[in-house]
Structure 1
Amino acid sequence: MHAADLHLDSPLRGLSRLGDSELAGSLRAATRRACENLVDAVVDRGADALLLAGDVYDGDWKDYATGAFFVRQLARLHDEGIPVFLINGNHDAQSEITRSLRLPPNTHRLSVDAPETRVVDDLGLAVHGQGFARRAVCENLVPAYPDRVPGLVNVGMLHTSVQGDDRHDTYAPCRPEDLSGCGYEYFALGHVHEQRVVCDGQHTAAFSGNLQGRHPQERGPKGALLVDVEPGGQAALTPLELDVARWELVEVDIAGLADADEVFDAVAAAVRERCGQAAPRTVVAQVTLHGAGPAAAGLTDTERVRTELELAAANAGAVLEKIRNRTRPPSDALAVDPELSAAVSAAAAGLAADPGRIRELAAPLDRELGRRLREAGLLDLRDDERLAALARQAEQQLLARMAGEGS
């Protein structure tokens, strides 16, 4: 079993509006529950070994509870006679974790000083790898990896961005041909949070992705890879979904929908579908409404839209995290004086280009509620980019209301 990027006790971002509810507490424990799912899967699937390719932790522990939880999970595998191999990544580099606990005898942490090989004769398995001694490892570690051990299944472990992936911080960069050039049957990679095969064929290399999505950009199924391989054979990969909560983006085009009620029904149906696909996991949904149509006029009441969609999400068993309203009235429905609509657009453009003016207008609100809005993660009235986006959103909502009410 190959897993990586557990980020134990990393908070799921975007849940601040749920406060201290039971659901919020459950979601905040999602990384631990996903780790328990991983250990269950290792045992239930009869895996011969577990490989953890870095970032078990999310940085230094607040206290020993995080480490103690992980040790208990490793001990479950020790009781089953299943070895575990792990390497440090950038978040749990040797220099980042100041506390330590003894690991069970079945667990082998590979060196951070140079690549090393651990052989399990009973399994016919040779594991090669090197962890991070410090957070920022900027050199290619692969050229120093050991030669394969003949007659065994050879597996490499590396925490890396792999060259050409600009969506992640560049750590231990290497080329796909560096990985396949080692001649190992499989290379277990960590750091990139999407499940992805880097090298296919005789010398497979893959990212397992992270175990649990932690924020809205980490959407869709998350989990681990079950790897079946024999000496000299091609690895067969089986993705396993082990996440506890799932972030989903629900997009609804209002074109063709007559009014707001039809939009709400369309969102409810889309959320129900996502919940069915993710069951029994909790879905945390972001909803984006877009497109042009007559329904835009009925979507300008922000409070009503949020309340209706929160109810729809709750009825489907989901949590609504954010709504984006990017709708507009159809061009042929704009019965507003062109000079008036042009003036509205010009005023909005002027505000978007001058966030300082918006801060001035919002100053009374900021003094009264600004700190609480920021602490709740709802709105930062000092964020110029966000203020500019609000000006553009206000333009669209005002034009939609004007069009809906006629001249």
Structure 2
Amino acid sequence: MRLVHAADIHLDSPLLGLARLGDDALAHLLREATRRALENLTELTVTVAADGLLLAGDIYDGEWRDYGTGRFFVEQMGRLHDEQIPVFLVRGNHDAQSEITRSLSLPPNVTVFAADEAGTVTVDEIGLAVHGQSYATRDVGANLARAYPDAIGGMVNVGLLHTAVDGAEGHAPYAPCTVDDLTRTGYDYFALGHVHTHRIFGDGERVAAFSGNLQGRNPRETGPKGALVVELEPDRGPVLRLEPCDVARWASLRIDIAACRTFDDVLACVSGHLQATRNDAGARPVVARIVIVGTSPAASALIDEERLREELQTVAAGLTMALEKIEVRVASPRPPASVDPELMAAIRAAAADLAGDTDRLAVLAGPLEREVGRALRRAGLLDLNDRATLADLAHRAGAGLFTRLVGDEEA
């Protein structure tokens, strides 16, 4: 039996901050990316001749802006209906019953599991039993997995659940459960949603997995994104392979320039990393965030950040890439003797004191948070409510001033 497992499509999810990419065509592609990724999922499901498609929640990003969002999903499911491929779907926190007030009729091949309790649907002609439960509201705090029914003997049993397994660090603890809660059901495979990175739990005959989201939507959602093709055979554990469905890819590159001595060395080093990232992405457009780090003799040469940015933008354009952000966090190996050591010590101490005083940092960041904090978070740029982020900014401010003083003296 062959199934395709996907989740967290977030159809028509708004992507903010695209104008700063300076590439109108790429910005338009990213706005349409979730739709194109869903088309790729449909094509994948047909191409591999799947016996079913499993959708583990967050098909939508919340209430539709208009009926076009729902109509597009219906059209894709309609193609699978024409191919006689059943679809099994649970609602997650973003598309819970309380979050989506508009509705359109789905094709008869689509089963949406109810939210009041876990249910089971069987496809007797292929020996498949699918168990699942949707969210009634966005904030589900109960462990839904514990109430899932036991496996049905003589059939391939699959579970569908939108959940935070074992805490799911970095994600809201919706429908929290443990791996033991999942495996005690005896299901051959548990298709999970909510976590946007691909993860697998268990091995052998009982496996649970997050497929990750279908398309990266911001600089934090990096690397290949897509769906899992799940092969199930008697007396053998599920065999999984991730098939990319994304149409554009985000990359976050932390590049150490400790071995670089000159500006040209830095440019060559960064260019090499960009080329490797370009190769990994295939023909897809890539949006990259670059963080240059390390203690290097080239630190003072990077003071002219405008020149660095323009040089790297030229390299990226030649590779059909866009640079979302460039950060420089470098230090010189040693300050010139003519720079007052007491001044340098005072800068380090001031930065350390400020970084350690998170209450003061929060007060300083307060006006900016009220003005643009929400927009910065939605664009995936900065969380001004996060104390660790504010402390990191303070450390970087001290290091940046230190490097500029050293560079000015050397110049």
**TM superposition score normalised by structure 2:** 0.88
CA–CA distance in structure 1, aligned partners of residues 53 and 269 of structure 2 = 43
- 2:256 aligned with 1:253, yes or no? yes
Match of 1:225 among 225, 228, 240: 228
8 Å CA contact retained: 2:294, 2:330: yes
8 Å CA contact retained: 1:250, 1:286: yes
3-state secondary structure, aligned to 1:257: coil
Which residue matches 1:305? 308
3-state secondary structure, aligned to 1:252: strand
CA–CA distance in structure 2, aligned partners of residues 379 and 216 of structure 1 = 8
Letter in 2 for 1:146: P
CA–CA distance in structure 1, aligned partners of residues 329 and 152 of structure 2 = 58
- 2:207 aligned with 1:204, yes or no? yes
Match of 1:325 among 325, 328, 331: 328
* Structure 2 CA distance for partners of 1:88 and 1:359, relative to 1, 3 Å: closer
Which residue matches 1:134? 137
* Structure 2 CA distance for partners of 1:330 and 1:69, relative to 1, 3 Å: same
Which residue matches 2:273? 270
Greater shift after overlay, 13-22 or 46-55? Answer: 13-22
CA–CA distance in structure 2, aligned partners of residues 390 and 203 of structure 1 = 45
- 2:398 aligned with 1:395, yes or no? yes
Structure 1 residue runs of 5 or longer lacking an equivalent are none
3-state secondary structure, aligned to 2:312: helix
CA–CA distance in structure 1, aligned partners of residues 120 and 55 of structure 2 = 15
* Structure 2 CA distance for partners of 1:16 and 1:71, relative to 1, 3 Å: same
Greater shift after overlay, 327-336 or 139-148? Answer: 327-336
1:161 deviates by 0.4
CA–CA distance in structure 2, aligned partners of residues 279 and 237 of structure 1 = 22
8 Å CA contact retained: 1:185, 1:231: no
Q: Deviations over 1:222-271 (max 9, x none)?
A: 11111111345421111111111111111221212111221122111111
Which residue matches 2:73? 70
Aligned counterparts, 1:35-74, within 5 A: 35-74=38-77
CA–CA distance in structure 1, aligned partners of residues 241 and 332 of structure 2 = 47
1:89 deviates by 0.5
8 Å CA contact retained: 1:294, 1:404: no
Greater shift after overlay, 77-86 or 172-181? Answer: 172-181
CA–CA distance in structure 1, aligned partners of residues 235 and 96 of structure 2 = 33
1:129 deviates by 0.8
8 Å CA contact retained: 2:167, 2:173: no
CA–CA distance in structure 2, aligned partners of residues 144 and 103 of structure 1 = 27
3-state secondary structure, aligned to 1:234: strand
CA–CA distance in structure 2, aligned partners of residues 136 and 357 of structure 1 = 30
CA–CA distance in structure 2, aligned partners of residues 355 and 175 of structure 1 = 37
Greater shift after overlay, 277-286 or 330-339? Answer: 330-339
3-state secondary structure, aligned to 2:298: helix
Match of 2:103 among 100, 104, 110: 100
Aligned counterparts, 1:82-121, within 5 A: 82-121=85-124
8 Å CA contact retained: 1:4, 1:190: yes
Greater shift after overlay, 95-104 or 107-116? Answer: 107-116
Which residue matches 1:12? 15
Letter in 2 for 1:245: A
8 Å CA contact retained: 1:151, 1:231: no
3-state secondary structure, aligned to 1:155: strand
Which residue matches 2:343? 340
Match of 2:198 among 195, 199, 208: 195
3-state secondary structure, aligned to 1:256: coil
Greater shift after overlay, 200-209 or 14-23? Answer: 14-23
8 Å CA contact retained: 1:253, 1:289: yes
- 2:126 aligned with 1:123, yes or no? yes
CA–CA distance in structure 1, aligned partners of residues 380 and 117 of structure 2 = 46
Match of 1:171 among 171, 174, 198: 174
CA–CA distance in structure 1, aligned partners of residues 180 and 362 of structure 2 = 51
CA–CA distance in structure 2, aligned partners of residues 335 and 80 of structure 1 = 76
Letter in 1 for 2:37: A
Greater shift after overlay, 300-309 or 45-54? Answer: 300-309
3-state secondary structure, aligned to 1:148: coil
Letter in 1 for 2:116: D
Which residue matches 2:218? 215
* Structure 2 CA distance for partners of 1:174 and 1:259, relative to 1, 3 Å: same
8 Å CA contact retained: 1:185, 1:233: no
* Structure 2 CA distance for partners of 1:107 and 1:356, relative to 1, 3 Å: closer
* Structure 2 CA distance for partners of 1:405 and 1:81, relative to 1, 3 Å: same
CA–CA distance in structure 1, aligned partners of residues 144 and 386 of structure 2 = 41
CA–CA distance in structure 2, aligned partners of residues 5 and 264 of structure 1 = 37
Sequence identity, in percent? 52
How many residues are matched?
400
8 Å CA contact retained: 1:153, 1:232: no
Letter in 2 for 1:170: P
8 Å CA contact retained: 1:351, 1:357: no
8 Å CA contact retained: 2:90, 2:112: yes
8 Å CA contact retained: 1:154, 1:231: no
Structure 2 residue runs of 5 or longer lacking an equivalent are none
Greater shift after overlay, 345-354 or 128-137? Answer: 345-354
Letter in 1 for 2:227: A
Which residue matches 2:282? 279
CA–CA distance in structure 2, aligned partners of residues 384 and 212 of structure 1 = 26
3-state secondary structure, aligned to 1:294: coil
